[in-house]
C-alpha cells in the first residue's frame, strides 16, 4: 500500500520536494561564500522546507544548525539551542561534542541531557550577562575554526527576536555575527512586515546586512509535473484538466494545493472516481475550523468588508467597490489593508490563503 504522496503537514524533503532549484543554488553559494541571507514569504509557502532541504544537499562537509524561533522562549534558551545544535552537527560522536562544549564554555557551566533519539542537548547555567551570551553565540565560529570548516546556522521565524529582548539582543547578535567569517546565517520568517523592518530599516542593526530573498509560490510547471507523476507512480489516474482545475482553485499555494491533492488522492485510492474537485474543496473548507476562527478574530467591520471585496476579486481602491462594500474612502482602504497585511492575512494586496478567500466568498454569496 503506497503512502499518500501529498502529505502536507510535514516539511517536504527528498523525492517529495518540488523544485526551488534557483533558491537552493543561491543558498548553497551563500553557505560557501559566507554571505548571510534573509528569506521571507507568507506562512506555508515553503521556507522551512527549503532550508531543511538545502541543509540535506549541503551534505556532511558543511554542518548545519537549525534554530526555530517559535520554540525559543528566552535569551538563554537561544544560547542553549545554538550551542546544542552546533555540537550535535559538527561532531559525529556526542562524547567529542560534549568535551568541546566543556572545553570552550566551561565558565557557562554547561550540563547535558541525552534524548531517546541519541542526541544530547546542552543547557548553559550561566547566561546572565551580555558577555556570557556573546560567548555562547560565538561557539559555531570557534568550532568552525577548530575544524577548519564552514557552518550554516538558520534562524527560522526570526522576527520573534522582537519578543525576546528586542533591541539589545538584535544589536548583540548583529555584532557577534559580523565577526564570524566561517558561519553563514540564514534568517527567515513569515511575518513579512516585521522581518523587512529588521533588515530594511536604516535605524536597525541588521540593516542591509544580508542578501534578501523573497520566496514566491511554487512555479506551476514543476508543481503540475509533481502532481501528475505522483498519481501515476502510485497507480492512480488523473487527467491534466483536473490538475489545472486544482491549481486554479488553490492559486498554486504550496500547502493548500497539496492539501486538496491529498484528499483527492485518498478518494481515488478508495476507488471513488467521480467526486469532483469542487465538491472535495467544499468539504475541506467547511471542515476547516481555522478559517472560521480567523474570521472571528477580525473585529473591525471595515476589515471584514475589505476582505469580502477582495474575496470577490473586486478592486478595493476603486470608487464603485468603496461604494458597494461601504469601505468609506480610499485612505480607509489603505489603512485597513495595511493592518490586514500586518497580521498576515493579506500579502501584496491579496488574501494569502486561497481557502480563506473561498470561505469568505461563499458566506457572502
Ligand atoms: N518545495 C516544496 N515541495 C513540496 N512541498 C512543499 C514545498 N514547499 C512547501 N511545501 C508544502 O507546504 C507546507 C508548508 O511548508 P513550510 O516549509 O512549512 O512553509 P513555511 O516555513 O514557509 O511556513 C509543507 O508542509 C509542504 O507540504
Ligand atoms: Mg516555517
What digits encode the pLDDT tens for the residues 24-40?
999 999 999 999 999 99
- Higher local confidence (pLDDT), 249 or 365: 249
**Per-residue pLDDT for 350 more than 70?**
yes
Residue 149's contacts (CB-CB under 8 Å, 6 or more residues apart) are 61, 62, 63, 90, 182
**Per-residue pLDDT for 200 more than 80?**
yes
**Backbone phi, psi, residue 74, to 5°:** -160, 170
**Per-residue pLDDT for 67 more than 90?**
yes
- Higher local confidence (pLDDT), 98 or 126: 98
Same domain, 169 and 249: no
3-class DSSP state for residue 37?
strand
Mean pLDDT of 274-300: 94
Mean pLDDT of 221-230: 97
- Regarding the beta carbon of 41 and ligand 1, being less than 6 Å apart is answered yes
Same domain, 224 and 331: no
Mean pLDDT of 266-283: 92
Q: Which ligand 1 atom is at minimum distance from the Cα of 20?
A: 1
Same domain, 148 and 233: no
**What is the chain's alpha carbon radius of gyration, rounded to the nearest angstrom?**
23
Same domain, 281 and 303: no
In a domain, 13, yes or no: no
Same domain, 273 and 137: no
Q: Which domain holds residue 272?
A: 220-287
Centroid of ligand 2 to alpha carbon of 189 (angstroms): 7
3-class DSSP state for residue 63?
coil
Probe target for ligand 1 pocket from 4, 5, 9, 12, with the most ligand atoms within 8 Å of CB: 12
Probe target for ligand 1 pocket from 44, 192, 265, with the most ligand atoms within 8 Å of CB: 44
pLDDT digits (tens, 9 = 90+) for 113-165: 988 887 889 999 888 888 999 999 999 999 999 999 999 999 999 999 999 87
Amino acid at each position: 500500500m503506497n503512502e499518500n504522496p501529498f502529505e502536507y503537514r510535514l516539511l517536504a524533503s527528498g523525492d517529495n520536494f518540488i523544485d526551488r532549484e534557483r533558491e537552493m543554488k543561491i543558498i548553497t553559494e551563500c553557505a560557501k561564500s559566507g554571505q548571510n541571507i534573509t528569506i521571507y514569504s507568507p506562512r506555508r509557502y515553503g521556507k522551512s522546507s527549503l532550508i531543511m532541504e538545502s541543509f540535506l544537499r549541503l551534505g556532511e562537509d558543511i554542518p548545519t544548525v537549525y534554530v526555530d524561533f517559535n520554540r525559543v522562549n528566552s535569551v538563554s534558551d537561544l544560547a542553549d539551542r545554538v550551542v546544542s545544535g552546533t555540537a550535535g552537527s559538527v561532531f559525529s560522536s556526542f562524547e567529542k561534542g560534549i568535551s568541546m562544549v566543556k572545553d570552550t564554555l566551561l565558565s557557562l557551566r554547561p550540563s547535558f541531557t541525552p534524548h531517546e533519539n541519541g542526541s544530547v542537548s546542552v543547557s548553559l547555567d550561566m547566561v546572565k550577562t551580555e558577555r556570557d551570551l556573546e560567548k555562547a553565540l560565538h561557539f559555531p565560529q570557534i568550532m568552525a575554526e577548530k575544524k577548519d570548516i564552514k557552518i550554516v546556522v538558520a534562524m527560522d521565524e526570526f522576527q520573534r527576536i522582537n519578543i525576546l529582548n528586542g533591541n539589545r539582543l538584535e544589536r548583540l547578535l548583529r555584532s557577534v555575527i559580523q565577526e564570524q567569517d566561517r558561519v553563514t546565517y540564514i534568517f527567515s520568517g513569515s511575518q513579512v512586515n516585521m522581518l523587512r523592518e529588521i533588515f530594511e530599516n536604516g535605524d536597525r542593526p541588521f540593516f542591509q546586512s544580508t542578501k534578501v530573498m523573497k520566496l514566491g509560490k511554487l512555479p506551476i510547471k514543476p508543481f503540475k509535473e509533481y502532481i501528475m507523476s505522483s498519481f501515476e507512480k502510485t497507480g492512480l489516474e488523473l487527467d491534466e484538466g483536473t490538475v489545472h482545475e486544482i491549481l486554479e482553485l488553490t492559486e498554486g499555494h504550496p500547502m493548500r494545493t497539496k492539501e486538496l491533492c491529498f484528499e483527492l488522492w485518498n478518494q481515488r485510492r478508495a476507488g471513488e472516481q467521480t467526486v469532483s474537485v469542487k465538491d472535495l474543496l467544499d468539504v475541506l473548507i467547511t471542515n476547516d475550523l481555522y478559517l472560521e476562527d480567523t474570521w472571528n478574530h477580525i473585529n473591525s467591520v471595515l476589515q471584514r468588508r475589505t476582505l469580502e471585496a477582495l474575496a470577490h476579486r473586486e478592486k478595493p481602491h476603486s470608487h464603485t467597490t468603496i461604494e458597494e462594500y461601504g469601505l468609506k474612502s480610499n485612505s480607509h482602504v489603505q489603512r485597513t489593508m495595511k493592518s490586514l497585511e500586518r497580521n498576515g492575512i493579506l500579502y501584496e494586496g491579496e488574501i494569502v490563503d486561497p481557502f480563506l478567500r473561498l470561505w469568505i466568498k461563499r458566506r457572502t454569496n
